[in-house]
A = this chain, B = another copy of it.
Amino acid sequence: MQFELTDDLIKQVENFIEVNDNKGLQKLLKDFHYADIAEILDELNLEEAMYVIKLLDSETTSDILMELDEDNREKVLKNLSSKEIAEEIEELDTDDAADIISELSEERQQEVISHIEDEEHKAEIKELLAYDEDSAGGLMAKELVKVYETWTVAGCLRRIRAQAKEVTRVHSIYVVNKQNKLIGRLSLKDLIVAKSEQKIADIYITSVDSVNVHDGAEDVARVMAKYDLEAIPVVDDNQILLGRITIDDIVDVMKEEAEKDYQLAAGITSDVEADDSIFEHTKARLPWLLIGMLGGIGAASIIEKFTGSMGDFIVLLSFVPLIQATAGNVGVQSSAIVVQGLANDSIDGSIIKRLFKELLLGLVNGLAIAIIAIIISHFLFDTPYNVSITIGIALIAVIVMAALIGTFVPIFLDKRGIDPAVATGPFITTSNDVFGILIYFLIAKLILGF
């Protein structure tokens, strides 16, 4: 039942291509879902992929295009003429069509659009291209089923039969007034259950969620997830119905968002996947490593400053990794909680209140860690009593500081309109490394008096 991408299958496809057995290839691929064919094409080289694309009809290939890895799609599009792309575009819903076109160069966009024959489709795609990619407008499709409040159920069903042919999946039927303002909704089920002579005005549901065309993609995702919606209508500032967004697009937004946050937390910029090239990986990872290195250099200069006067207390240096690891871990924990809270809109109360809570939490965790560290360092390492106590006190201070920085920075960035997720991972670890080590030596100097 389930599709599995095996080496055998890929070999089979490659063999058909090699001997130009079009019939065999078509027969093999006929029963596969386009998303499965896309997975196969992602494993082929460009020449082979183009062979398959030229072979299949544009109804299938347009869907396949949408499912290809972005890198591969770019290559395939480069190998298609503007006219060929326009043919694929004709088969796609307006939202997918606009997505594909927006990946082309400015010049190519114009060419492709000029080749689209369906004037209505063309106008709608042009409209969609004007919206920001990460807004409701950038996500919505123009395809939807819309009825006027003045229609009867029977008339409605008749007209829906016509409209619905263009719409892949009918979720809700949107009810508008004469000015095309969204005033309510109906489900197909409601329509089927209703009597045919009833007026839409009498049966439609007036409470209808909608989003503004300029709302951000993440906000749309939040609304749809919260209210368990499968589609949501998009309106302009005057409540005029412009389009609709379906849950499958939102699932993609959520996945991308989650992956981006995860990668940021792990110190990886830009979207990079396991199978990307070493160059892509270096580009994504090296910047954060450099930031970490700067922190390391900063820490080195702090240590150098203190080592000279340290004398007998040189054993303090052995505990630098402990201080650093603790500062880093606490910072990442605190910032992750805040970043997630901000994403879920579940952080309320003032910054002060939140910082106070982290302060308390830091004291509790710090005390626990400090006591254990004092015992271990004193008994296992024969560290003098005063040095052990110093390490313990420094640990508490460092944990509290790391928790506060980890909490404050993402909240601060969020207030400034910067994605707080950049403040997790190496960013927090690095700053906490440096501050942590500085605090450690300052406290040691104060207590031990070197």
Contact = CB atoms under 8 A, between A and B. Distances in A.
Interface in A201-237: 207, 209-210, 223-230
User: Could you say how many copies of this chain the assembly holds?
Assistant: 2
A153 B249 CA distance: 32
A296 B357 CA distance: 26
Contacts of A425: 332
Contact of A324 (B31, B169, B325): B325
Contact of A330 (B259, B263, B289, B354): B289
Interface stretch (A49-57, A76-84, A185-193, A412-420): A185-193
A19 to B, nearest CB: 25
Contacts of A376: 297
A290 B31 contact: no
B325 A293 contact: yes
A293 B307 contact: no
Contact of A230 (B247, B281, B282, B430): B247
Interface stretch (A20-28, A106-114, A265-273): A265-273
Contacts of A225: 248, 251-252, 255
A292 B325 contact: yes
A272 B164 CA distance: 45
B429 A282 contact: no
A216 to B, nearest CB: 12
B300 A319 contact: yes
Given A161-B193, A272-B337, A273-B341, A322 B300 contact: yes
B274 A340 contact: yes
Contacts of A148: none
Nearest to A63: B228
A433 interface: yes
Contacts of A364: 278, 282
Contacts of A314: 307, 314
Contact of A322 (B228, B229, B296, B330): B296
A429 B324 CA distance: 11
Given A192-B157, A289-B365, A303 B317 contact: yes
- Dominant secondary structure of chain A at its interface with chain B: helix
Contact of A193 (B35, B164, B210, B365): B164
A441 to B, nearest CB: 12
A326 interface: yes
A361 interface: yes
Interface in A142-162: 157, 160-161
A396 interface: no
Given A317-B307, A336-B268, A293 B372 contact: yes
B292 A326 contact: yes
Contacts of A292: 325-326, 328-329
A100 interface: no
Interface residues of A, number: 119
A380 B294 CA distance: 13
Interface string A330-369: 1011011110110010111000001001001100110011
27 contacts: A1-B210, A169-B230, A171-B230, A247-B248, A251-B251, A262-B336, A262-B340, A263-B340, A266-B337, A274-B338, A274-B347, A278-B360, A282-B361, A285-B330, A286-B365, A289-B330, A293-B322, A293-B325, A295-B325, A296-B322, A297-B380, A303-B320, A304-B318, A314-B314, A321-B324, A321-B437, A325-B430
Contact of A266 (B5, B265, B288, B347): B265
A251 B254 contact: yes
Contacts of A254: 251, 254-255, 258
A165 interface: yes
A2 interface: yes
A138 interface: no
B321 A365 contact: no
A381 B300 contact: yes
Contacts of A426: 329
